[in-house]
């Protein structure tokens, strides 16, 4: 048993930590700890107070729901307290059995007695709110706050389309409906994409959100309701506050499930996975079913909730401390955990993409032990400021590759000399030493040694052998993997050095299959210039572009030696494609592979260059601003540059046209001030098709 003095010191320290993190989570919407870490601290304090009851003071975090009212919001005293429910610490199926056993014990039911009926719901990850309706009209919305007093967020809640401003059908004099404001994953990703565009455009005070819960809660807790209106918020109803009795005109509901149906009849969305369950076996089945479906859900959950269905039994069970005895949250393995960054390495993908990967002290998260987590790209690694030695939050959901969400603030606040260096992407491929380049407008660096790089070898061979390229029948994924893993093929020319004896000696390779592949390789030597060019796997060079290049230059040497300016003269070739071609053929080993393939006997008919046609928008300068209806800025820029136009980043007297989309800002004002012609996307496409 812990001594009273040691317990008091530990309890005081835990209380201070929990109050700080509760303030960050509930008040500032800027949590620093994953929920699982907070739960561990909370449960330890509960254990100490159970062991030494005198430590359970009125201001202990265990005696309150958590959170305070933000300054600037009116205070709302809840007519019925908004209490939290207990979290089941056993995340295995045994957690459901334990809850059922506690309920049966409290109700005095014998082991062979009737099963308890429950309602099973999802535990949504958002912001809990209380919606008060009087005579069917929404008059007030409040956050949970500390459970007794919340924040008046009525104006923000009115912007949530899923929340009815007037209840459907017959409404009682008073009804308080409780539920969760949340953000769907697809809406969250779209919101963050818009945030990244704003940041890239230089807009200050903008940020990328860590998770949907923060984005939703932050939107509701804004004094300006326009911010909530600008974010795609959703809502699920699941609970009840004050409500008029049946004698006063309120619904006569006897169960939790009946209330959920009433909420739905009033116009609220309720969880479609919600269902009744009888006894522990069906609770376990629900927990396991949702676990399988969890990652496919369109929104985040961190567990399920079991509630005794009968309201009469709920009243009999009552409450203990801050929690009802008749409900419990049964969580799943944590999707976020804390660990240390031991190193940062760069991995090269099958298509040449360079990805920084954090090497981690092993941590159990999302049901598996994780030792690596992606940092996505150099910009993300720098934005999150992840360095060797930092303590970071790691997230893993389902089969998604684990990622570093962020650095723990205490770790980031260490003196610079105590932290590792800022991450910088190497400018050479760590596998083959080829140049690693990042194209304009892209976030990823890529290895330029496509035909030479060991990391890209399998993908390069499969692409080369594809039906629309060299069409080498019989050379599929498994065989390529076998040939590369056995070190029989290092570069493309090695394909044509394979003989019947070598192939027939491979596992699961019959003589006939070996002969057919030898014949297919021989047949592939006679090809066309577009097929060969496409087969080289040069970034951005598709079949159509390969045909245009072959038609324009007539010969492969002409393409290999062309300058970017000469490449831009080709139909549908813009700056991105031209730079990609020039970069590829500037690598000596890529040229060497081409020459070796020719020496192996690959050949095609070549002709004279086609007549050069002038580009219709040559000499014209365009600027693009705002969000276009159907095209991204990069797509619009590529189309304009392909037609010969110059696309600038700012408006000046030299600008001929400003292409303006939705939310066009200062560039539009500048264009109007200078008298620059302003056009929309439709007019731009018309110019591209028909000329000026």
pLDDT tens track for 65-116: 555 555 678 999 999 999 889 998 888 889 999 999 999 999 999 988 899 9
What pLDDT score does 226 carry?
A: 80
Highest mean pLDDT among 16-25, 227-236, 323-332, 603-612: 323-332
Asked whether residue 155 falls in the same domain as residue 54, the answer is no
Asked whether residue 320 falls in the same domain as residue 342, the answer is no
Q: Is residue 96 part of a domain?
A: yes
Q: Give mean pLDDT, residues 359-376.
A: 90
Q: Do the beta carbons of residue 65 and residue 57 sit within 8 Å?
A: no
What pLDDT score does 612 carry?
A: 65
Tell me the per-residue pLDDT of 164-185, one tens digit each, with 9 for 90 and over: 888 988 899 999 999 999 999 9
What pLDDT score does 194 carry?
A: 87
Q: Is residue 488 part of a domain?
A: no
Asked whether residue 163 falls in the same domain as residue 287, the answer is yes
- The confidence band for 683, taking pLDDT boundaries of 50, 70 and 90, is very high
Q: Is residue 287 part of a domain?
A: yes
CA distance 541 to 577: 7
What pLDDT score does 29 carry?
A: 60
Asked whether residue 135 falls in the same domain as residue 121, the answer is yes
Contacts with 25 (C-beta within 8 Å, 6 or more apart), sequence order: 31, 38, 66, 67
Asked whether residue 587 falls in the same domain as residue 554, the answer is yes
Q: How many domains does the chain have?
A: 5
Asked whether residue 344 falls in the same domain as residue 202, the answer is no
Report how far apart, in Å, the C-alpha atoms of 81 and of each of 64, 184, 252, 312 are: 11, 28, 22, 19
What pLDDT score does 58 carry?
A: 67
Strand ranges, E, within 531-626: 621-625
End of a domain among 331, 347, 369? 331
Between strands 657-660 and 621-625, the pairing is parallel
Q: How far is CA 519 from the centre of its chain?
A: 47
Domain of 368: which CATH number? 2.40.50.140
CA distance 21 to 15: 10
Contacts with 317 (C-beta within 8 Å, 6 or more apart), sequence order: 103, 106, 107, 308, 324, 325, 326
CA distance 217 to 210: 12
**pLDDT at position 427 over 70:** yes
Helix 633-642, helix 681-690: angle, nearest 10: 20
Domain of 45: which CATH number? 1.10.287.610
Q: What is the pTM of this model?
A: 0.58
CA distance 446 to 427: 9
- The confidence band for 193, taking pLDDT boundaries of 50, 70 and 90, is confident
What pLDDT score does 575 carry?
A: 86
Range of the domain at 13: 4-63
Asked whether residue 683 falls in the same domain as residue 649, the answer is yes
**pLDDT at position 222 over 90:** no
Asked whether residue 311 falls in the same domain as residue 380, the answer is no
> Where do runs of H (alpha helix) occur along 399-475?
409-412, 457-465
| Of 68, 75, 79, 123, catalytic | 123
Q: Give mean pLDDT, residues 517-521.
A: 95
Q: Based on the number of CB atoms within 10 Å of its own CB, is 236 exposed (0-12), middle (13-18) or buried (19 or more)?
A: buried
Domain of 647: which CATH number? 3.40.50.10190
Q: Which residues pair with 658 in a beta bridge?
A: 623, 678
Q: Is residue 174 part of a domain?
A: yes
Residue 192 CB neighbour total at 10 angstroms = 16
Asked whether residue 584 falls in the same domain as residue 651, the answer is no
- The confidence band for 509, taking pLDDT boundaries of 50, 70 and 90, is confident
Q: Give me the sheet containing 275-278, strands edge to edge.
A: 86-88, 327-331, 301-308, 117-124, 275-278
End of a domain among 309, 331, 353? 331
Tell me the per-residue pLDDT of 284-307, one tens digit each, with 9 for 90 and over: 999 999 998 988 899 989 899 999
Q: Is residue 52 part of a domain?
A: yes
Does 620 participate in catalysis according to the annotation? no
**pLDDT at position 26 over 70:** no
CA distance 361 to 404: 13
End of a domain among 273, 297, 331? 331
Asked whether residue 362 falls in the same domain as residue 378, the answer is yes
**pLDDT at position 400 over 80:** no
Q: Is residue 77 part of a domain?
A: no
Asked whether residue 221 falls in the same domain as residue 121, the answer is yes
What pLDDT score does 637 carry?
A: 87
Q: Is residue 491 part of a domain?
A: no
Q: Is residue 494 part of a domain?
A: no
Query: H/E element holding 348?
Result: strand 336-348
Mean pLDDT of the chain: 89
How would you label 644-676 residue by residue, b for 16+ Cβ within 10 Å and e otherwise?
bbbbeeebeeebbbbbbbeebeebbebbeeeeb
Asked whether residue 245 falls in the same domain as residue 133, the answer is yes
Say which DSSP state 416 is in: G
Long-range contacts of 400-405 (CB under 8 A, 24+ apart): 400/295, 401/373, 401/374, 402/365, 402/366, 402/370, 402/372, 402/373, 402/374, 403/373, 403/374, 403/375, 403/376, 404/341, 404/358, 404/373, 404/374, 404/375, 405/210, 405/211, 405/336
């Amino acid at each position: 048993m812990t001594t009273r003095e040691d317990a008091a010191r530990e309890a005081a320290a835990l209380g201070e930590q929990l109050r700080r993190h509760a303030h960050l989570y509930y008040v500032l919407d800027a949590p620093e700890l994953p929920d699982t870490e907070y739960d561990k601290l909370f449960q330890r304090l509960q254990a100490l107070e159970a062991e030494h009851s005198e430590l359970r003071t009125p201001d202990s975090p265990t005696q309150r729901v958590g959170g305070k009212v933000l300054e600037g919001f009116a205070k709302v005293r809840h007519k019925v307290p908004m209490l939290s429910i207990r979290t089941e610490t056993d995340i295995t199926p045994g957690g459901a059995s334990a809850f059922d056993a506690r309920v049966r014990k409290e109700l005095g039911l014998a082991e062979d007695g009737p099963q308890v009926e429950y309602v099973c719901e999802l535990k949504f990850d958002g912001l809990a709110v209380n919606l008060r309706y009087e005579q069917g009209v929404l008059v007030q919305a409040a956050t949970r706050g500390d459970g007794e007093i919340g924040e008046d967020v009525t104006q923000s809640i009115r912007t949530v389309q899923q929340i009815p401003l007037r209840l459907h059908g017959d409404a009682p004099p008073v009804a308080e409906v409780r539920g969760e404001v949340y953000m769907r994953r697809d809406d969250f990703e779209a919101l963050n994409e818009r945030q990244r565009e704003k940041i890239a455009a230089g807009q200050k005070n903008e940020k990328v959100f860590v998770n949907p819960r923060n984005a939703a809660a932050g939107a509701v807790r804004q004094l300006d309701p326009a911010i909530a209106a600008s974010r795609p918020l959703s809502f699920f109803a699941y609970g009840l506050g004050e409500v008029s009795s049946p004698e006063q005109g309120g619904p006569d509901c006897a169960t939790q499930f009946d209330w959920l149906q009433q909420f739905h009849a009033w116009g609220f969305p309720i969880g479609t996975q919600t269902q009744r369950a009888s006894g522990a076996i069906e609770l376990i089945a629900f927990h396991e079913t949702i676990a399988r479906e969890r990652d496919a859900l369109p929104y985040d959950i961190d567990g399920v909730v079991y509630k005794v269905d009968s309201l009469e039994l709920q009243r009999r069970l009552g409450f203990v401390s801050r929690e009802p005895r008749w409900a419990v949250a049964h969580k799943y393995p944590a999707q976020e955990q804390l660990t240390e960054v031991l190193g940062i390495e760069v991995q090269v993908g099958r298509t040449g993409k360079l990805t920084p990967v954090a090497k981690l002290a092993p941590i159990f998260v999302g049901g598996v032990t994780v030792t690596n987590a992606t940092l996505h790209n150099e910009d993300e690694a720098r934005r999150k400021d992840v360095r060797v030695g930092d303590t970071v939050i790691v997230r893993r959901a389902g089969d998604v590759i684990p990622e570093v969400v962020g650095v723990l603030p205490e770790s980031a606040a260490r003196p610079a000399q105590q932290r590792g260096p800022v991450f910088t992407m190497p400018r050479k491929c760590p596998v083959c030493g080829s140049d690693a380049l990042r194209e304009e407008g892209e976030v990823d660096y890529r290895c330029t040694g496509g035909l030479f790089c060991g990391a890209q070898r399998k993908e390069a061979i499969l692409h080369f052998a594809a039906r629309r390229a060299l069409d080498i029948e019989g050379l599929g994924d498994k065989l390529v993997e076998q040939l590369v893993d056995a070190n029989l093929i290092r570069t493309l020319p090695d394909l044509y050095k394979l003989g019947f004896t070598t192939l027939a000696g491979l596992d699961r390779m019959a003589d006939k299959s070996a002969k057919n592949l030898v014949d297919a390789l021989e047949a592939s030597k006679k090809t066309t210039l577009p097929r060969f060019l496409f087969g080289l796997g040069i970034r951005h060079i598709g079949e159509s572009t390969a045909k245009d290049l072959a038609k324009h230059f007539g010969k492969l040497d002409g393409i290999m030696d062309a300058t970017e300016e000469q490449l831009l003269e080709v139909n549908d070739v813009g700056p991105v494609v031209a730079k990609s071609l020039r970069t590829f053929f500037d690598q000596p080993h890529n040229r060497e592979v081409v020459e070796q393939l020719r020496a192996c006997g690959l050949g095609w008919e070549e002709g004279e260059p086609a007549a050069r046609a002038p580009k219709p928008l040559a000499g014209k300068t365009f600027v693009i601003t705002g969000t276009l209806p159907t095209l991204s800025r990069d797509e619009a820029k590529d189309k304009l540059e392909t037609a010969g136009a110059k696309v600038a980043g700012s408006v000046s007297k030299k600008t001929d046209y400003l292409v303006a989309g939705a939310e066009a800002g200062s560039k539009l004002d500048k264009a109007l001030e200078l008298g620059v012609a302003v056009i929309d996307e439709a007019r731009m496409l018309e110019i591209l098709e028909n000329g000026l």
